[in-house]
Structure 1
Amino acid sequence: MTSTPSPVAGLLLAAGGGRRLGGRPKALLGLHGRPLVEHAARTLHEGGCSRVYVVLGAAAADVRVHARLTHCTLVDNPGWPDGMGSSLRAGLAAVAASGARAVLVALVDQPRVTAAAVSRVLAAHRSGAELAAASYDGERGHPVLFARPHWEGVARAATGDRGARTYLREHAAAVTLVECGDVAGPEDIDTPEDLRLLG
C-alpha cells in the first residue's frame, strides 16, 4: 500500500506597499488584465499546493475587492510596514493551524515563477527534502519549501525585510536546490524599470 503524500500549503507573501514603485501595492499590479496576486496564487494552485494562503497588507481592502481569491485563505498582516519578515511570520502562524506538513513560500512580485517550478520543488519534498528551493543557474531563489519542523526556527529568524534568508543561510547544507532556470525566472519587481516584466 502506498502512502499519501502529506499536503503542502502554498504561502504567498503579497503585503508589500511598493515603496520604490511610488507606493503602488505590488499585489494590485496588472498582469494580462488581472491583479498580479491572482496570477501568483493560481501558479501555486496549478503547481500542486493543496491550499494557498495569501498574506495581505498594503491596500488589503482593495485587494479583497479587485482580486478573485475565493479559493484562497486570506491572512491580514497589520504589521506589514515592518517588512517581509512580519508577513512570513503571520503566514506561518495561519498555516500552522492546518494539517499541512510543509509550506511552499512564494513572493507576489516574481511574475516569471511558474507552476512548473512549483511542481519541481514539491517533487523534491515528496522525495524526502525537508528544505528545498528553486535555483536559477545554481543560485537559490523562490519558491522555497519548509517542512513543519523548520517553521518555528524560520519564524524566529524572520525579521525586517530578510524573510527566511538568514535561516536558509544557516542551514544551507540541508537545502535541496532544484534547478528551474529552464522553466521559470527569479526576477522581481522593485522599481518602475522592473514593470517591463509585466509586459
Structure 2
Amino acid sequence: MDEHTTPRSTSTPQPVAGLLLAAGRGERFHAAGGEDKLTARLPDGRIVVLEALRRLQAALSPCGVGSVVAVVRAGREDLADLLRAHGAAVVVSARAAQGMGASLADGVAGWPDGRAVLVALGDMPAIAPTTLAAVAEALRGGASIVRPRHRGQGGHPVGFGPEWLPALRALEGDEGARAVVQHHRDRVQWLEVPDDPGCLLDVDTPADLARNAPLALR
C-alpha cells in the first residue's frame, strides 16, 4: 500500500466533526508589533479565527455531525465567548502552554468513538472552501488520514478517521498530529490542490494579514 491508496469504502457515510485549534499564544505576531492574531482583522474587516471557523462549519454541514469544537487556552474567556457566539463548542485546554499536540489531545479527549475528526487551525483563514469540503468528503467516505497537497507541500486541514482517536488523545508537546501522519504515510490519502495556496498560509505576523486577504475572499 502506498501514500496514494484509495480510501476504504463504507456502507454508511462516516460522521465527521471539526476541531479548530485556537490555543496558541501568537508570540511571533506580538513580537512583530501586533496584538492578538486570532482576533486580528483582515483588511476587509473579517476576524481571522471567525473566518477559519466559518469555512470549517460550511465544509462540515453536509457531513453527518457537522459540529465544530474549538480549543482555546486557559485565560482566553474573550475568545471562548466569541467562538461560542458563532456556533462552536469550546474546550479550554489546561495544557495549551505545552504546545499544539497537548491542545489537540485535550480537544479530542471527550470525542465520541466512531466519529472522524477534521483538524483545522484558527490562524488559517484563507483555505479554499473546496479544499475543506474535499477533505471532509473523503473522511465521510471512509478515508483513514486525509491531507491536501499544494505543489508538493502538505497543507491543512488534516482529517483522521475514528481509528486514530487513541493516538490523538495521547499526543503531547508541540508536535501536533504531524507524528501520526509521518509514521503512517501508507495510510494517507493526499488530495492535490494546485489552485489553493491558502492551504499553506497561516497568520504569524501582521504582514500575513494582507498576504491572506485576497485568498480569503474566495
Q: TM-score range by the shorter chain?
A: 0.7 to 0.9
Greater RCO, CA 8 A, separation 6+? 2
Q: Provide Cα deviations, 1:148-172, integer angstroms capped at 9, x if missing partner.
A: 111111332x332210011110001
What's 1:180 paired with?
A: 193
Q: Percent identity of the aligned residues?
A: 37
Indicate if the aligned counterparts of 1:26 and 1:108 stay in contact, CA closer than 8 A: no
Residue in 2 that maps onto 1:46: 58
Deviations 1:16-47 (A, max 9, x none): 11111117333212134243221111111111
Deviation of 1:80 after TM superposition, in Å, equals: 1.4
Classify the secondary structure of the residue corresponding to 1:25. Answer: coil
Amino acid at match of 1:169: Q
Amino acid at match of 2:52: A
TM-score by length of 1: 0.87
1:127-166 equivalent positions in 2, closer than 5 A: 127-156=141-170, 158-166=171-179
Matched with 2:38 is 27
Kindly report which structure 2 residues correspond to 1:38-77, keeping only aligned pairs within 5 A, or say none: 38-49=50-61, 50-57=66-73, 60-67=76-83, 69-77=85-93
Amino acid at match of 1:116: T
| 8 A Cα contact 2:123 2:203, kept in partner | yes
Q: Which amino acid aligns with 2:181?
A: L
Distance 2:93 2:26 in 1: 15
Residue in structure 1 matched with residue 23 of structure 2 by the alignment: 15
After the TM superposition, which of the residue ranges 14-23 and 62-71 deviates more from structure 2? 62-71
CA distance in 1, matches of 2:174, 2:27: 13
Give yes or no for contact 2:21–2:71 (8 Å, CA) kept in 1: yes
Normalising by structure 2, we get a TM-score of 0.80
Q: Residue 107 of structure 1: CA displacement?
A: 0.5
Point out the more displaced range, 142-151 or 29-38. Answer: 29-38
CA deviations 1:120-160 (Å, max 9, x no partner) are 1122223331111111113221100111111111332x332
Count of aligned pairs: 195
Mapped contact 2:118–2:157 kept (Cα < 8 A): yes
2:179 and 2:166 mapped to 1: Cα distance?
Answer: 13
Stretch deviating more after TM superposition (55-64 or 7-16): 55-64
More strand as a share of residues: 1
Does residue 91 (structure 1) correspond to residue 99 (structure 2)? The answer is no
Q: Contact 2:145–2:160 at 8 Å: present in 1 too? A: yes
